[in-house]
Structure 1
Amino acid sequence: MTTTASNSLQNIVIYTSNKISLDFYKPFEDGLNPILFTVKTLEQIPSKTENKIHIVILESCDELSNLQINCNKIHLIMPEYSKNKLENDLKALIFEHDQSMSSQQALEKFYHGFIKFYCSAEYYLDPQDFFNSDSYKDGYRYINIHEVLQNNVNYEQQLNTYLNTILDTETVSFNFSISYDFYSESGYLPQLEDTVDHLKYVRDRDVFFSIVLSKYPISDNKLAIIHLSQKSLIS
């Protein structure tokens, strides 16, 4: 796991055949490195890995057969998929969303839940951390995102219930989004400690933590729990 401080610009390239709005990115948020977003077509997917975060958005799994994805370490956003098997050498982290969710909604959820880990100014996580895990056996891993409202009365119950569904061998990431109007630091720090206590630690499990403080209450004080598995939760 990499936890080196970084103030560098983060380059995120989105490849899609859809019209995508970047309004979800708020540059006034604290706790994030500056991000340069570039949107390109699916035909412009590079032939080799670049020093950027690559996000490929597909309308269906069938689009994969028409693409030449030769670069490793890509993030693939696509609707739920069950029959076809991805190529073993794809080297992708896959966020598989429900059919009722649009590509725009999926991208925003993916950004707020997962990509912020890469762009945290204080605890910068290298994407390599998630691609080089020993559990990365089939050339791809599924990203499963669950959100819990931190000031909800049922917070601990929801948290415990969800963590019990995560296998001991799976990588887990906690992304705490906290707005400055949260009642006090003394209020949320014990809450973070309680959250960590709910997770069953086992040897060789990879666990990542990130806290993003926002100047505006756009995050609703949500905890995004992400676990990377070899199997999709959607069937």
Structure 2
Amino acid sequence: MTTTASNSLQNIVIYTNNKISLDFYKPFEDGLNPILFTVKTLEQIPRKTENKIHIVILESCDELSNLQINCNKIHLIMPAFLKNKLENDLHALIFKYEQSMNSQQALENLYHSFIKFYCSAEYYLDPQDFFNSDSYKDGYRCINIHEILQDNVSYEQQLHTYLNTISNTETVSFNFSIGYEFSSESGYLQLIENTVDHLTYAKDRDVFFSVVLSKHPLSDNRLAIVHLSQ
């Protein structure tokens, strides 16, 4: 796991045959490293791994059937009802979105809950940390996302209930989005410590933490819990 600070440019390439808006990215509202977004078609998926974050968005079974993915280490966004047709050597993190979402909403959910980890200026994480070849089953891992309002009275109960559903062998990521007006650094460090107390640790479990200091009001502050099933 990489925890050193970084101010390097993060390259994120989105592959989709649908129109995608990047309005969700507010570079001056969150403490993130600069991000260069590029949108390409599915036909432009590279034939080998590049030093970029690749996000492939699918919406139909036809797209999945015709897709030729030749590079490893991608984020694959796909509807939950699509069946996986992936080679065993394809190292992918798969986020399946429900029918109530469209691909734009799924992209924004994945970005705010997980991709921000890669771009946090203070707690920088390397995307390679999540592509551990020893943790793959059938060549891919599934991304599961849950969010809890941190200033909600039921925060502790929701947190405890949800963490109990996560296997002791799964990788867990905590992404704290905390307003600049939060009382103090010691305040959010205590919040993190209280959260960790609810997590059952097991041998070889990977746990990642990220803190994004946001200009959004405290009522919008959320903890995104992402667990990667194996």
State TM-score, norm by structure 1.
Answer: 0.93
Q: Distance in 1 between matches of 2:190 and 2:55?
A: 35
The whole-number CA distance in structure 2 between the counterparts of 1:219 and 1:20 is 27
Corresponding position of 2:205: 205
Question: Is the Cα–Cα contact under 8 Å of residues 61 and 78 in structure 1 kept in the other structure?
Answer: no
Counterpart in the other structure of 2:110: 110
| Alignment-derived partner of residue 21 in structure 2 | 21
Q: Distance in 2 between matches of 1:166 and 1:112?
A: 21
**CA shift for structure 1 position 188:** 3.0
| Deviation, structure 1 residue 96 | 0.3
Q: Any residues of structure 2 matched to 1:58-77 within 5 Å, and which?
A: 58-77=58-77
Instruction: State whether residues 178 and 219 of structure 1, in contact with CA within 8 Å, keep that contact through their aligned partners in structure 2.
Output: no
CA contact (8 A) 2:60 2:82 kept: no
What SS does the corresponding residue of 2:14 show, helix, strand or coil? strand
Q: What is the correspondence of 1:1-235 to structure 2 with a 5 Å cutoff?
A: 1-81=1-81, 83-132=83-132, 134-217=134-217, 220-230=220-230
Structure 2 distance, partners of 1:17, 1:23, is: 18
CA pair 106-190 structure 1, distance change in 2 beyond 3 A: same
CA displacement at 1:91 relative to structure 2: 1.1
Deviation at 1:218, TM superposition (A): 8.3
- What residue identity is the alignment partner of 2:78? M
**What does the per-residue CA deviation read over 1:34-88, in whole Å, with 9 as the maximum and x for residues that have no partner?**
0000011111111111000000000034422201110100000011036444321
Q: Partner of 2:228: helix, strand, or coil?
A: strand
Relative to structure 1, is the Cα distance of residues 3 and 189 closer, same or farther in structure 2, using a 3 angstrom cutoff?
A: closer
Q: Distance in 1 between matches of 2:9 and 2:102?
A: 28
Residue segments in structure 1 that go unaligned for 5+ positions in a row: 231-235
Superposed CA RMSD: 1.6
Kept in 1: contact 2:77–2:106 (CA 8 A): yes
SS in 2 for 1:101: coil
Distance 1:82 1:35 in 2: 30
Preserved CA contact (<8 Å) 1:59 1:78 = yes
- Change in Cα spacing, 1:122 to 1:84, as seen in structure 2 (3 Å) is closer
Distance in 1 of aligned mates of 2:173 and 2:16: 26
Rate the CA distance shift 1:164–1:133 in 2: closer, same or farther, 3 A.
farther
| Aligned-partner Cα distance in 2 for 1:218–1:34 | 24
Alpha-carbon distance in structure 2 between the residues aligned to 1:99 and 1:77? 13
Distance 1:127 1:84, change over 3 A: closer
Q: Cα deviation per residue 1:153-178 (whole Å; 9 max; x = unaligned)?
A: 00000000000000000000000001
Distance change (3 Å), C-alpha of 1:25 and 1:130: same
CA distance in 2, matches of 1:66, 1:219: 43
